[in-house]
Chains A and B, each alone.
Chain A
């Protein structure tokens, strides 16, 4: 009897909820939702709550683009890469036709040129040093990683610096966005997008087979991909644009800099209509900020439901330096490259925009460099 009791205790450890952080995260979400509802913005409330759900799903399924890409590059393991493609295919099923057929909805588009390629390459280096991309930074920082708070702070600083450089780099040249739906029609564009994803998946399987590595995503990863794909569609429905992350960071950074006396009135980027409006308005009026904030709170809540929150010791100084350098590079790169894995890759390919694939092809060699640099900071290559 006592043996059974002991065995049961060991096999089913009690959940150790961290009530202060769990309550704080839910309460903070409730306050923000109330504030936007008072302003008559139900769509903003929806985006906050969808961000909250995204934070929880990312954390609980440990969905990571950075680790997936590293596994694809180093051992040739394609499981995470294929799960990412599945996520995009689900989002594209709604985004591509709706953007083409329903007025008021827009896709994630971007010009194709040196700015995109340079920015993405630098972003790729940064994401491997930081050990997280835009979404990864949000959910790990929200989930209690002090290291990723440093990445987030540097990501924000880097994106403001990038905003000051973007107009000059854009002036080098480039071509206007190319949307599959504009060339092949709404359903032809969706078919072309799905075919491009299938070809990428096939390439992933070939790489994995040649290197004797796994390519079938485990159940948890598939659940994460499907859930995040469906949430991407919900964010698109609420915000009328595909989910994006990094513009919010740029706005937060510019607002902080302005509070400390910085003047952006002569910066070309901040004279464009969208950024000019964003820097003057409430953060809770910006679609990407809303999902970002929700995601941080959702990850905090999810982390606090199962373990004491933020109890890990600080990592070594080298690792913190990598976090800072990675954040700066990602911030700068995301601004020049028109987003991160979410806004540019998922949003871009999911909208049938060619720039999404260019983003991927430029970020991949950056990741290779980043992986080679990781040991300098005491980080593993795998």
Chain B
């Protein structure tokens, strides 16, 4: 058994808390979409609220995609810890600003900034975990981190239930709490041994004149490296998988609270909260189980099954449910359980295919490019809702076929690199293999 130092547990705690607050801040809008836009637009029309809600979701997703790219690249250059602090501050401050929005345009801009920070935090958090944890433990660590996404959503629903009579502005105001986590990161978290070794390797190579081609790669532009021939196929397949999951989430599942408003014909604060709590308890269990399932049946099959079962559940739910009852809650639970598995599996898979010096950029690109496409689909979903005479169920049922893309892409997923190590990783392997003491790691990261 390999004993873990405290830095591994701090990394896990930070990734878990960061992801928790990502979930919290991302979900606030879906739960207050109808009351917030009704107030800002001065209308009760489902079609109009749906149309502008879709535009704001699109802003949020574009921000998320850009955040993943910008902060992912920054993490490769200046380090994971600093990037994590900046990204968390961006999304918490922007969530607080949402509380004082006076128009839908203002809300859209603040949601764009929230997306920017969340995109950065998620990418960097997942990469940082993969650097601190290895082997089977890495799979379970990523799974554990992903459970907090559901906990964040669950917390939003619970807060909403507790603040039934309170304004939607109070929910956004509560979203600034995560800023406190940056203090913990500043005090406790250090860069991983791997990243410190990479920085040291870069520093040692700067002094040399005749570098080999393999050694020059350490200074290469990570974005350019990601588009090289050997990386292009996994990149495209991952983009297709993440796009399918993200489009499905933001154009199908995120409309469920608004759909419940429609089913009940009331404000339905209690019903929306209960539905989201049940769905997210499913996603917590699904995320926790993903590590075990991947170990048993592999990455391809896990992703394929997750998408397939989510599609079936969506079809049953949106075509057969016409009132808020226990049958809906059971379907929502399983929807939450299966829909998260593909995202967790991709978080596990990305560090297996991209080398360390470009992982932040690759992760940001692979995991977030799909959000640009999802943003376009979010706009389409607004149009589709209007086309189906304001019926969220019919629009969501039609859009859920996007999961077929994910199933097809999963079949093409390349096998991870395995033992093929490049020059940089050989050096890092030897360097990290010496396993410096935690004191040495802290002092070298402080430099």
Q: Do the two shown chains form a genuine complex with each other?
A: no
